[in-house]
Amino acid sequence: MSFFSNIFGGKKGEKGPTTGEAIQKLRETEDMLIKKQDFLEKKIEQEIVLAKQNASKNKRAAIQALKRKKRYEKQLQQIDGTLSTIEMQREALEGANTNTAVLTTMRQAADALKLANNHLDVDKVHDMMDDIAEQQDVAKEISEAISNPVAFGQDVDEDELEKELEELEQEELEKHLIEIDPTKDQLPAVPQDEVAKPSRARKEKEIDDDMKELEAWAS
């Protein structure tokens, strides 16, 4: 019989407990031993009190109490050792249970990955990626063609256009100068009063000359 069969009452030929079941049984055993431990500790305290009470008046009873205390302490020591062993077994089983769960998950993941890869053809994947790259190149060429401006009027003579532009600029400059000084092409107007002044002065001079001549004749 296996170790677990001896502990948990299994019979030869029967299937042993699972890791989870073994861990649960060990925890139940730990709980039972801890309760037993608490009971013994209380009994030890009671025997110490009884020994103290009978130390002077009933020495025999005191000695019997101390003997029982010694037995309880020995049982308590055995339980401590058993608890340490069970704790180590439980921790080992919990570690094994964790490892089993991890390995099971990894195996399931590997099977899932294998199944997924079986549905994929490597050559078809490469062909698809080549098609994608080719279509991206085509799309890039189309975008570049659309973004380039259409070249209209490339046969026009650049020198002729520059000459025409200079003529337009000269025409605009002359127009601007005329607007600034509109009288530059006209002769200055002579005031009428200034034209009349010389004739009036000559007339007065003639009168003065006549008066002088008349005065000279009269004298």
State the pLDDT at residue 156: 61
Residue 83 in any domain: the answer is yes
Query: How many structural domains comprise the chain?
Result: 1
State the pLDDT at residue 4: 47
| CA–CA distances in Å: residue 169 to residues 42, 133, 163, 173 | 120, 54, 10, 6
State the pLDDT at residue 27: 92
Residue 45 in any domain: the answer is yes
Residue 144 in any domain: the answer is no
Residue 41 CB contacts under 8 Å (≥ 6 apart), including other chains: 76
State the pLDDT at residue 37: 94
Residue 65 in any domain: the answer is yes
State the pLDDT at residue 52: 92
Residue 56 in any domain: the answer is yes
Residue 203 in any domain: the answer is no
The crossing angle, in degrees rounded to 10, of helices 19-54 and 59-118 is 170
State the pLDDT at residue 214: 59
* Residue 58 belongs to domain spanning: 3-122
Residue 217 in any domain: the answer is no
Indicate which CATH number applies to the domain containing 112.
1.10.287.1060
Residue 74 in any domain: the answer is yes
Residue whose C-alpha is closest to residue 51's, from 42, 59, 43: 59
Secondary element (H or E) of residue 66:
helix 59-118
Mean pLDDT, consecutive 10-residue segments, the chain of 219 residues?
Answer: 49 71 92 95 94 90 93 95 94 88 90 82 81 89 77 64 81 79 54 53 66 61
Residue 69 CB contacts under 8 Å (≥ 6 apart), including other chains: 43, 44, 47, 48, 51
